[in-house]
Chain A
Amino acid sequence: MSLNKHRWRQILLLLIIMSLLTGCWDSREIEKRATILAIGIDNAEHNAKNEEDEVNHLKGANQIPNERMIELTVQMAIPGRIPLGPQIGAGDKSPVLVIQAVGHTIEDALLNIQQEVATEIFLGHLRLIILNEEVARAGVGRFTDYLRRNPQIRRTASLVISKEKASEYMNIKPELERVPSLYLAEMVDSLVQLGKFPPTFIGMFWSILSSKGQEPYLPYFKIKGKANIQINGLAYFKGDKMVGKTKPLQIGGFMAGIGAEKGGYALFIKIPDLEQAVLVRAVERKTRVKASMKNGKPHILLKVRYECEIEEVESVNPSNIKAEDLQILEKNFSSEATRALETLIVETQEVKSDIFGFGEHFRAKLPNYWNNQVKTKENWQDIYQNLAYDVEIKTKIRRTGMKAK
């Protein structure tokens, strides 16, 4: 009797242990994952439809999207070849594999790639998505759904626009970092830290795209030389379509407009008496935006306060900068910055692209006006085109460096 009881207990214990030791359904060893680090999206050739393999749909199927097909280039990490920490003289084998496929949508193309790769595609480490300018001009809205829906994608991944084909960026081999896509992603992050670009990541792009009173913007990349990449400006959008790009220096003006605190760009200013050009760099700025109604029309007042420092004085003779000279420099810097900002506003007004988010100020601060006369993003785009504005910039130069004379 008691023996029987014991046996019964043993069996129960065994059952419990069995159910507890089953492990994880979702466990997947790291080398069994095809980790994609970066994605580049280009327009596919016009005859891509005919070359497409019948992976996700048969030829002539009538339920496929009508939009132009895309060419997806991915950079995949090769297990064991991604160095952890700095390594000197590591082997010359590339740590990444570049694969290309065409498709109607991102997932369509990814499934085509999956068909060629033995391990399961994993997007949890995706750091960078590069869109070719042509694709961006046709509209990026078609890609956002997949990226939002997929739980693996990080909202902090970077989205950038490229002048050249995005596939070229996937094949580029920068010298400064072993993993090319990590270098590119780091580049976006560190440029933000240096004050060369306002904070940008894909989640922020989506938020601005969804908001009613602002148009999104993205960094614009260009390949320089063999393996260098330059931030060549700021791509601005109207809705989900790219409509133009700025010059690199204008990014500084843009950052003043949206009130990014960190300054990073410098201007040459001449002191008339001395005939010397002085390079004045913005260090910090404070922006106040005042939205109001003037004579029944919306009006924006932008007040920017710059803090600058003198970086370099172009001189052969000893230069002696006096307090009055600083005042002149401050004044000239202000007027130069005002001009730069106003030009950018005019340029974006021409294409109805309110990247500064002035509309958000009206929506937030003058809800009556917004609800009665604006309501939608489209209406605001039309109003922005003729928006009246004033720019007031004040500059203070605090530091002049280590040189006295």
Chain B
Amino acid sequence: MEDPKEVTTVQAATTLISTIIGVGVLPLPLFAVRAGDTGAPFITLLGIGIAAFGLFVVTKLGLRHSDKTIITYSEDILGKWLGRFFSLFVIVFFSILTALAAREFGAVVITAVLLETPLEVTVIVMLLLAAISARNTMNTFAYIHNFYIPIILAPVLIIVALSLKNANFLYVRPFISSGLHDSFFGALTIAALFQGSFIMTLIIPSMKNPKSAMKAGWWAIFISGGLYLLLVLATVAIFGAEEIKRLYWPTLELARTTSLPGNILQRLDVIFISVWVIAVFTTIFASYFLTIHSVKQLFRLQDHKMLAYFMLPFIFILAMLPQNIVQLYDVIKIAGRAGLIVTILYPMLLYIIDAMKSKRRKKGESKQA
């Protein structure tokens, strides 16, 4: 019944990277600047730190139960019913995350690119794509992510490199300009953009060599975090903190300000948007995949394929709930921070209980001997 374990270390890392890099790329500099003014890169760094810690805990926990996911081993650790109860939260949260990502994607597309297209159409097309792709097995899932990674990374790097000629590095100084309170909450908002890394718990059981999961995790955080940091640094250096506060999607503006040398393309937002659609797809795909696999495991189902379509209407309705863009970003902020409880605090709790349990077991064994 189980899939063959074929996911390699590189595939695990690329899956994580393309899952992490998603819709959040666009408002990222705005979130960072709101919390830290010119210290936005520093806030981003803090956020990456928190995210890395979260991924570390999830991986460590996964390695202790390398055949199971968080849905199944939480039952071992917390007991059947308590484990299932918490698993429900994981499922609900990732449904919401999928829905919000799809909705944010739709919001950007109808404001910036396709002004006549109805919001519902952009959202449902994206969700449908994710649902169809989510019918695949874990190995295909990893292949798809691996395939898209160069297309996601390269254009962003090119845009950053080309845009730097207008940079004014006075804008990123002083490096630390916000108080402890603001910095911490700002870092949490940034860390929330990394929540896709929770997919690690699903990858580990399918890995050829689960021991190298930790290595894959570090690489993933290093590359995606590095890209985020670079983006924040570039946008702040080009627009300045004060200007960024007036823009919803500073990264998109960065692409609009950048032109290819020699007037081949006078604005790069067209390229950026098409790349970004892929990045958003991989993210929604991953969280959708995680959601239906969690449901499958929770209810001990044999197959996840039918679930893919079954979940679609629920997620679509969730995506349509926010009334406008202002409300949407309020919801995203709250959901993001609340999600950290699910993706970092909950695994931490599991880990502590698990560690204590095995210690006690060891003690008991040595006493018996």
CB distance from B235 to the nearest CB of A (A): 11
- Inter-subunit contact A207/B174 (CB<8 Å): no
How far does the Cβ of A83 sit from chain B's closest Cβ, in whole Å? 16
CB distance from A194 to the nearest CB of B (A): 17
Closest B residue to A213 by beta carbon equals B170
Q: B174–A364 contact, CB under 8 A? A: yes
Residue of A24, A25, A26, A203 near B257 (CB, 8 A) is: A203
Which listed residue, A24, A151, A357, touches B111 by the CB 8 Å rule? A151
The proximity string for A residues 209-225 relative to B, scoring 1 for CB distances below 8 Å and 0 otherwise, is 01110000000000000
Tell whether B239 is near chain A: CB-to-CB under 8 Å.
yes
Shortest distance between the CB of A298 and any CB in chain B (Å): 15
Q: Indicate if the CB atoms of B266 and A156 lie closer than 8 Å.
A: yes
Knowing A199-B166, A206-B243, A210-B240 are in contact, say whether A25-B121 is a contact too (CB < 8 A): yes
A68 to B: closest C-beta gap in Å: 25
Cα A25 to Cα B174 in complex, Å, equals 47
Task: For the complex, give the distance between the alpha carbons of A367 and B177 in Å.
Answer: 8
B173 interfacial by beta-carbon distance below 8 Å: yes
A203 neighbours in B (Cβ, 8 Å): 239, 253, 257
Q: Mark A155-181, 1 if CB is under 8 A from B, else 0.
A: 110000000000000000000000000
Please, which residues of chain A bring their CB within 8 A of the CB of B118?
25
On whether the beta carbons of A25 and B243 are closer than 8 Å, the reply is no
List A113-160 residues whose CB lies under 8 Å from chain B.
Answer: 148, 151, 154-156
Residue A52, interface by CB 8 Å = no
Q: Judging by beta carbons under 8 Å apart, are B170 and A210 in contact?
A: no
| Residue from B111, B114, B240 having most chain A Cβ neighbours under 10 A | B240
Number of residues in B with C-beta < 8 Å to the partner? 31
Asked if B247 contacts A154 (CB within 8 A), the reply is no
- Answer whether residue A311 sits at the interface, using C-beta atoms and an 8 A cutoff: no
A155 touches B256 (CB 8 A): yes
Residues of A within 8 A of B267 (CB): 154, 156
Known: A148-B247, A210-B242, A211-B171. A26 touches B117 (CB 8 A): yes
Q: Which residue of A lies closest to B114 (CB)?
A: A26
Q: Which residues of A contact B177 (CB under 8 A)?
A: 367
Determine the chain A residues whose CB is within 8 A of the CB of B166 once the complex forms: 199, 204
Known: A26-B116, A154-B266. A207 touches B239 (CB 8 A): yes
Contact residues in B for A206 (Cβ distance below 8 Å)? 243
A365 in the interface (beta carbon within 8 A): yes
Q: CB within 8 Å of A: which of B220-260?
A: 238-240, 242-243, 245-247, 253, 256-257, 259
Cross-chain contact A25 with B116 (CB below 8 angstroms): yes
Known contacts A207-B243, A208-B240, A210-B246; can you find 4 more A-B pairs with CB under 8 A? Answer: A25-B116, A25-B121, A151-B112, A210-B243
CB-CB nearest 4 A-B residue pairs: A364-B173, A210-B242, A25-B117, A210-B243
Chain A interface residues (CB < 8 Å from chain B): 24-26, 148, 151, 154-156, 199, 203-204, 206-208, 210-212, 357, 360-361, 363-365, 367
15 sample A-B contacts, Cβ–Cβ < 8 Å, listed by A number: A24-B117, A26-B113, A151-B111, A155-B256, A156-B257, A156-B266, A203-B239, A206-B243, A207-B238, A210-B246, A211-B242, A363-B173, A364-B174, A365-B173, A367-B177
